[in-house]
Amino acid sequence: MSTSQAIYAGWMEIANTTVDEMARGQVEEATLEALVNQYASALYRVAFSVLRNAADAEDAVQETFLRVLRHRDALDEIRDRRVWLIRIVWNIVLDRKRRAKTRPETDDVDELARVLPSRGLSAEQHAAASQHHKRVLACVDKLPSKERQVLMLSAFEELSSVEIAGVLGITESSVRSRLFRARNLMAEMLDHARSLR
Amino acid sequence: MNTQNHRSANSTSMVEAEYDPEVTLRLIASLPAPDGIENRVIANIRSAPPSRRVLNWPRLVNPTESWLRTAAAAAIVSVVLGGGWGVYSRIQPISTVALPNAGTAGGFSNAGAVRVPQTIPTPVVTKPASGQPAAAEPAKKATSRDVAGAHRQAAHKAPAHPQAAVGR
């Protein structure tokens, strides 16, 4: 039986399917790499804002893309990939944060307050800024979890309130009301801290 | 010393005035990602083991296609409905169900026990001794007949003995 006869008889269909799958796999891989190049940095910043540790944040980004790899068949159905990816990394970092609750956070806060940029400040002002950042971060940690999440996501200028709602799975009006409450609580706590000094 | 403290307080208040609380969060959010993170992630993805399933769907019946999903969902629904209808058509609904008589107070039931009031104490009828019940009964009847016969005989005999009747 010649090759053409085999094709007509359906024998060669398996080979064609394999070729299709390989091509499809290459396309998916290319799509995934494009996603990594486009969003890895943003995802890292989201992860870092919660975990406050560079290595943990990078691990979270790696895990995010491994999850995407597992569900790459569903990539075509995702409307807003950026929000989808941020939602995945957000869930991962919250889960990690919950599990690593035993680790004292004061070290991270100190380190972060020291690392934060201070534009052209003197050494004295830099120290004062570090103290201020430390106080703010301590107040953020004391916020109720729902308000804290909205406040932290609102710090990302590229995220609109609709997108924050998409990440958290709530309505936009809930985002606004939680943000309002979070700001009020922050102001109260900082005032209280100032009055104690 | 005082001058130093005063200067420190001044710089603190200046910093607080400049930095809104949310500025801190924005600064954190804008911290740059480490160099080469994309390459490391891509390398990690490439080295990840392929997630093959034990049983792959044949290409012809790819479950990701929407029409196939719809058909599968319809088949499941029809099987469930058919099964339910089959069970319903075979089993007749029970019209009444006899429930145990639960107590009205909501506590314990009487478990089917019926209260029997105590009867008024009455004379106890004792049966005759079970030794000769059959012999006693005919004897009793014979006695009553005998009594009647004796009366009759006495009536008949009365004119025969007039002195006796006068003497009474």
- pLDDT tens track, chain B, 168 positions: 455 555 555 555 555 555 677 888 888 888 888 888 999 999 988 887 765 555 556 655 666 667 888 999 999 999 999 999 998 888 876 666 566 555 555 677 778 888 887 777 777 777 777 655 554 455 445 455 555 555 566 555 544 444 444 444
pTM of the model: 0.58
Q: How far apart are CA B40 and CA B37, in angstroms?
A: 5
> Is B96 within a domain?
no
Q: What is the per-residue pLDDT for B144?
A: 52
Band the pLDDT of A191: cuts 50, 70, 90: confident
User: Hey, how many other C-beta atoms are within 10 angstroms of the C-beta on A59?
Assistant: 17
Q: What is the per-residue pLDDT for A5?
A: 57
* Interface test mutation site (partner A, options B39, B45, B56, max chain A beta carbons within 10 A): B45
Instruction: Report CA Rg, chain A.
Output: 24
Q: What is the per-residue pLDDT for A61?
A: 94
How do residues A98-145 score in pLDDT, each as one tens digit? 887 655 555 566 666 666 666 666 777 777 888 888 888 888 889 999
Indicate whether A16 pLDDT > 90: no
The type of residue at B61 is V
> Is A25 within a domain?
yes
* Interface test mutation site (partner B, options A53, A58, A122, max chain B beta carbons within 10 A): A58
Q: How far apart are CA A71 and CA A77, in angstroms?
A: 11
Set of chain B residues whose Cβ sits within 8 Å of the Cβ of A21: 59
Q: What is the per-residue pLDDT for B56?
A: 59
Q: Do B21 and A45 touch (CB under 8 A)?
A: no
> Is A139 within a domain?
no
> Is B56 within a domain?
no
> Is A30 within a domain?
yes
Give the C-alpha distances (Å, rounded to integers) separating B132 from A110, B128, B135, B137: 116, 9, 5, 9
| Distance in Å, alpha carbon of B40 to nearest chain A alpha carbon | 8
Set of chain B residues whose Cβ sits within 8 Å of the Cβ of A62: 40-41, 44
Q: Do B21 and A136 touch (CB under 8 A)?
A: yes
Q: What is the per-residue pLDDT for A133?
A: 84
B48's CB contacts (< 8 A; 6+ apart) are A66, A69
Q: How far apart are CA A154 and CA B29, in angstroms?
A: 10
For the segment A86-104, the average pLDDT, to the nearest whole number, is 84
Total domains in the fold of chain A: 1
Report the run of H or E that residue B9 belongs to, with start and end: helix B2-18
> Is B15 within a domain?
yes
For residues A32 and A178, the model is more confident at A178
Q: Do A139 and B45 touch (CB under 8 A)?
A: no
Set of chain B residues whose Cβ sits within 8 Å of the Cβ of A133: 19, 24, 27
Set of chain A residues whose Cβ sits within 8 Å of the Cβ of B29: 45-46, 49, 152, 155-157
For residues B10 and A90, the model is more confident at A90
> Is A124 within a domain?
no
> Is B30 within a domain?
yes
Total domains in the fold of chain B: 1
Whether the CA torsion A92, A95, A97, A99 is positive or negative: it is negative
Residue B25: which domain range? 1-49
For the segment A150-166, the average pLDDT, to the nearest whole number, is 90
Q: How far apart are CA B76 and CA B71, in angstroms?
A: 9
> Is A70 within a domain?
yes
Residue A21: which domain range? 1-102
> Is A148 within a domain?
no
> Is A130 within a domain?
no
Tell me if residue B103 falls in helix, strand or coil: coil
- CATH classification of the domain holding A51: 1.10.1740
Indicate whether A196 pLDDT > 50: yes
Q: How far apart are CA A190 and CA A156, in angstroms?
A: 22
Backbone phi, psi, residue A144, to 5°:
-60, 150
> Is A152 within a domain?
no
> Is B8 within a domain?
yes
